[in-house]
Structure 1
Amino acid sequence: MRGRSCSGDELFSFVRLEERVPADHPLRVIRALADEVLAGLSSSFSGLYAHTGRPSIPPEMLLRATLLQALYSVRSERLLMEQINYNLLFRWFVGLSMDAAVWHPTGFTHNRDRLLQADVARAFLQGLLALKQVKRLLSSEHFSVDGTLIDAWCSMKSFVPKDKGDEPPAPPPGRNAERDFRGETRSNETHASTTDPDARLYRKSQGQPARLCYTGHVLMENRNGLVVDSMLTHATGTAERDATLTMLDRRTSRQRITLGADKAYDVTEFVGELRARKVTPHIAVNGTVYKTGKRRKTAIDGRTTRHPGYEISLRCRKRIEEIFGWAKASAGLTKFKVKGLDRTTAIFSFFTAAYNLVRLPKLLAQQPT
């Protein structure tokens, strides 16, 4: 018998939101892990909010919604609120009931940014790594480090002299300002962005264009390629090495470890700092040949390269590019959509935690029960 299309709305629904989500959906494992971490942070959340006044958006819901934004490449908070409004899977993950109203995008953004600026993002990452089922997946001896450039949320037209001496004339009504940079010498010492003063003009290598950006740093363990620490700094020539030392100093254990890295870290002073911290530098040799025909002197000698573990570390360290690739291609972090070093640091740290959550369901399924 042919069924008839019925477009009428039902007044009541007798199906729970929980039943709409398949039992084997990967978000179930991710939400269980996130809820366990958030439960451990509950006491910290209490100290961030006043005890009187109108209730705000629950911090647990703010962080779950931000996770969805990274997991599903939602490009804006306005679109995220739209998705949560009609997407039952998103409602279930955030914790909203079928009849609950969705927040205004501006209110959500302000509450989320205030929460993440309180170092909650890094606490979430550390809480995730401290879970019993996650901790046994981590290596305690072998690590890798690398950095990547992430564009700031500002235009090159906003990079103007700090003294405002040659500020361009006002554009005609209805048009953007036009700038001719030809023949103009610009540097971070004399110029700054009016949109995001924390952004720095930086060029990755010869032949590459200079752009306003930040540098994101990740410390990865080599067993399963999970992020164990992350940082965001100004884009400078020494940012990668300085951030690495900071992340190593934040480790609670002081046992000897190995650290894999690319040839940009092959600097004598940096290698000396690593050895002083009981870190064996498994760094790729920078064998640049100068115009004179001489090869650059490397800081990595036979004490390190003669061991078979050195070659293993060089192979494992390439997996750190998967973290940056996921963050930029899948999570949409090719360009920050917030301004200022504090907020961009929080977003970067939280997105690296989201990468771990993406990897963990499959890794945990492979573990013996």
Structure 2
Amino acid sequence: MRGQQERTGPLFSYVSTEERIPRAHPLRQVRRLADQALDGLNPTFCRLYPEGGRPSIPPEQLLLALLLQAIYGIRSERMLIEQLDYNLLFRWFVGLNPDDPLWHPTTFSKNRDRLLNEELMARFLELLLAAPEVKPLLSSEHFSVDGTLLRAWASHSSLERIDGRDDDPAPPSGGKGFGGTARKEAKRSRGDFRGLLLSNQTHRSRSDGEARLFR
């Protein structure tokens, strides 16, 4: 018999988020290891917060949410908050019940900037990665990163040889009075780097010495 789709959902749900998350889901193990790392940071959290005042976003939830953002490559904190609003898996991981109110994106960002510095975040990752169970979860088979996450004051046109010499001339174009260096500069101005041998061993950016070539 064909089942009928009900347009109106039930008013109440009696299934907890803990029951909805599969027992074999990899985030379960990540959450357990993250909780162990957060327990080690509890004395630090106690020193950061005063006794009185309005309660803030729990630092444990801040760090767990940022960990989710890194794992799933969420592009912005605003999108992270949007996911936390309707994604039960994310709510479970951070420790939010389905009916718990969610933070405003600006409130989340202000709490993160005011209370979680780079040293504290680095300590959290150190404690997390130090667990022996973490190594089997990591893989070196493939690594990809969104180019917008790489900050560099550099471009291909800013590269120059480390030894100060000119690059090898590009293949002849058939024109007269057009030297190799001039051809090289013309190709770069057009964004065409074919025929130019560029590598991290021979070239550095004149605008950002720490920038490196990646593919």
TM range (shorter): 0.5 to 0.7
Task: Give the secondary structure class of the aligned counterpart of 2:48.
Answer: coil
Match of 1:21 in 2: 21
In structure 1, what residue type is equivalent to 2:4?
R
Structure 2 gap ranges (5+): 136-148, 156-198
Contact 1:33/1:128, CA 8 A, preserved across alignment: yes
Task: After TM superposition, list the pairs within 5 Å mapping 1:223-238 onto structure 2.
Answer: 236=209
Contact 1:84/1:90, CA 8 A, preserved across alignment: yes
Task: After TM superposition, list the pairs within 5 Å mapping 1:269-308 onto structure 2.
Answer: none
Match of 1:77 in 2: 77
The 1:127–1:23 alpha-carbon spacing in structure 2 relative to 1, beyond 3 Å, is same
Give, in whole Å, the separation in 2 of the partners of 1:80 and 1:127.
Answer: 24
Give, in whole Å, the separation in 2 of the partners of 1:74 and 1:118.
Answer: 19
> How many residue pairs align between the two structures?
159
The 1:75–1:118 alpha-carbon spacing in structure 2 relative to 1, beyond 3 Å, is closer
Q: Percent identity?
A: 52
Contact 1:27/1:93, CA 8 A, preserved across alignment: yes
Contact 2:154/2:205, CA 8 A, preserved across alignment: no
Give, in whole Å, the separation in 2 of the partners of 1:41 and 1:204.
Answer: 39
Match of 2:141 in 1: none
Task: After TM superposition, list the pairs within 5 Å mapping 1:48-87 onto structure 2.
Answer: 48-87=48-87
Shift, 1:53, TM fit: 0.7
Give, in whole Å, the separation in 1 of the partners of 2:43 and 2:92.
Answer: 24
Task: After TM superposition, list the pairs within 5 Å mapping 1:103-118 onto structure 2.
Answer: 103-117=103-117
What CA RMSD, in Å, does the superposition of the two structures yield over aligned residues? 3.4
Q: Deviations over 1:131-163 (max 9, x none)?
A: 46569xxxxxxxxxxxxx9315x899xxxxxxx
Give, in whole Å, the separation in 2 of the partners of 1:101 and 1:20.
Answer: 20
Q: Deviations over 1:10-48 (max 9, x none)?
A: 221110101111110111111110011001111111111
Shift, 1:208, TM fit: 7.3
With normalisation by structure 1, the TM-score equals 0.38
The 1:8–1:210 alpha-carbon spacing in structure 2 relative to 1, beyond 3 Å, is farther
Match of 2:139 in 1: none
In structure 2, what residue type is equivalent to 1:45?
F
Contact 2:91/2:97, CA 8 A, preserved across alignment: yes
Shift, 1:111, TM fit: 1.1
Shift, 1:98, TM fit: 0.6
Give, in whole Å, the separation in 2 of the partners of 1:86 and 1:35.
Answer: 23
With normalisation by structure 2, the TM-score equals 0.64
Give, in whole Å, the separation in 1 of the partners of 2:110 and 2:202.
Answer: 40
The 1:129–1:26 alpha-carbon spacing in structure 2 relative to 1, beyond 3 Å, is closer
Task: After TM superposition, list the pairs within 5 Å mapping 1:175-186 onto structure 2.
Answer: none
Question: As a proportion of its length, which structure holds more strand?
Answer: 1
Give, in whole Å, the separation in 2 of the partners of 1:53 and 1:68.
Answer: 29
Q: Deviations over 1:309-328 (max 9, x none)?
A: xxxxxxxxxxxxxxx99xxx
Match of 2:35 in 1: 35
Shift, 1:109, TM fit: 1.1
Match of 2:124 in 1: 124
**Bigger RCO of structures 1 and 2 (CA < 8 A, at least 6 apart):** 1
Task: After TM superposition, list the pairs within 5 Å mapping 1:147-162 onto structure 2.
Answer: 150-151=150-151
Give, in whole Å, the separation in 2 of the partners of 1:35 and 1:86.
Answer: 23
Contact 1:204/1:210, CA 8 A, preserved across alignment: no
Contact 1:17/1:88, CA 8 A, preserved across alignment: yes
Match of 1:361 in 2: none
Shift, 1:108, TM fit: 0.6
